[in-house]
Amino acid sequence: MARLTVFDRATYSSNLRCLTRNGSIMTAAEECETDARWMREALRAAHEANERGEVPVGTCIVSGEVVLAIAGNRTRTDQDPTAHAEIVALREAARKLGNYRLTDAVAYSTIEPCAMCAGALIQARVRRLVYGARDERAGAVESRFRICDTDFLNHRIEVTPGVMEEECRTLMQEFFRARRENQRMKTDGRMKDEG
């Protein structure tokens, strides 16, 4: 007997009851509500990262209804190039479980993960990744690479893109717009001082 996957469900009515991987019954509508609930937590972490001057990316990792970790980017705060939200959250979740394998976990990220983070999700054996907005420049799940579902790695992750996409995209766009404006103002200020 074949099991239904997220891809099989996509063509059916949202009222159709479907089997999830763990055998429990959940409607597509319930899954969407659950995804939005946890993505709001990831967005909250992204806003907190933004307040610290970090690129506003947030990640929430859950197993069932249990929150394992919520983190925002910390690269500047920690002076650590690997302290992306996904990595920070994976480390915290693994410590909490006492195991680096997060086989029942779902990771919610506001932005499509980069190659480093997608690779870490594979290494942790995360069951599912849900992300908000695509990263057209460095996304390694669908935009530039397909790390999470490639057939040459020993684990594949079920991927659900586009959850709260507009909110996630807007937060990033506003951050980079403000950064460019600040840079322009600094450049204009230097030009006045020199003139």
Q: Is the pLDDT of residue 12 over 60?
A: no
Tens of pLDDT, residues 139-157: 999 999 999 999 999 899 9
Between residues 91 and 187, which one has the greater pLDDT? 91
Do 110 and 63 meet the contact criterion of CB atoms below 8 Å apart? no
Q: Return the percentage of the chain with pLDDT > 70, whole number.
A: 83
Do 51 and 63 meet the contact criterion of CB atoms below 8 Å apart? no
Tens of pLDDT, residues 50-66: 999 999 999 999 999 99
Do 64 and 81 meet the contact criterion of CB atoms below 8 Å apart? no
Amino acid 11: pLDDT: 30
Amino acid 26: pLDDT: 67
Question: Encoding tokens for residue 23?
Answer: 């055998």
Q: How confident is the model at residue 25 (pLDDT cuts 50, 70, 90)?
A: low
Q: How confident is the model at residue 181 (pLDDT cuts 50, 70, 90)?
A: very high
Question: Encoding tokens for residue 46?
Answer: 């992204």
| Among candidate residues 103, 113, 110, 116, the one with its CA nearest the CA of residue 59 | 110
| Among candidate residues 112, 152, 143, the one with its CA nearest the CA of residue 129 | 112
Tokens 């915290």: give the residue: 92
Q: Which of these is catalytic: 41, 65, 86, 112?
A: 86
Between residues 9 and 64, which one has the greater pLDDT? 64
Amino acid 186: pLDDT: 79
Q: Is the pLDDT of residue 75 over 80?
A: yes
Check if 31 is active-site. no
